[in-house]
Amino acid sequence: MKYFLYLIIPLATAWLLTPVFRRFAKNHHIVARQNHRTVHQGEVAKLVGGAIFSAFILGLIVTIYFDKAVWADQLPAFLGLAIGALILFIVGAIDDRTDLNCNLKLFIEIIAASLPVFWGWRIESLVFPASVNLQLGFLSYPLSILWIVGITNSFNMIDGLDGLAGGIAVVVLISSLSIAMLFGNTLLPMFILILLGATLGFLRYNINPASIFMGDSGSLSLGFLLACITISASTHVNGTSVLVLFLLLGLPLTDTTLAIIRRLRRGIHPFHADREHIHHRLVNLGLSHSGAATTMVGFSLVLGLMAYLVAHGIYMDLQLLK
144-181 burial code (b ≥16 CB/10 A, e <16)? bbebbbbbbbbbbbbbbbbbbbbbbbbbbbebbbbbbe
CA 279 to chain centre: 18
CA 295 to chain centre: 19
Of residues 29 and 280, the one with the higher pLDDT is 280
pLDDT tens column, 135-159: 999 999 999 999 999 999 999 999 8
Torsion angle in degrees (nearest 10) through CA of 55, 123, 173, 321: -130
Of residues 45 and 264, the one with the higher pLDDT is 264
Average pLDDT of the chain to the nearest whole number? 89
pLDDT tens column, 10-43: 999 999 999 898 888 888 777 765 544 555 455 6
Q: Are 170 and 276 in contact (CB under 8 A)?
A: no
Residue 254, pLDDT above cutoff 60: yes
Residue among 277, 43, 281 at smallest CA distance from 157? 277
- CB atoms inside a 10 Å sphere around CB 317: 12
Residue 8, pLDDT above cutoff 80: yes
Q: How far apart are CA 220 and CA 171, in angstroms?
A: 17
Residue 74, pLDDT above cutoff 70: yes
46-57 burial code (b ≥16 CB/10 A, e <16)? bbbbbbbbbbbb
Instruction: Supply the pLDDT for residue 202.
Output: 92
Residue among 283, 176, 305, 191 at smallest CA distance from 230? 176
Q: How many angstroms separate the first and last alpha carbons of the chain? A: 32
Instruction: Supply the pLDDT for residue 233.
Output: 95
Instruction: Supply the pLDDT for residue 40.
Output: 47
- CB atoms inside a 10 Å sphere around CB 18: 27
Average pLDDT over residues 245-270: 91
Q: Are 54 and 17 in contact (CB under 8 A)?
A: yes
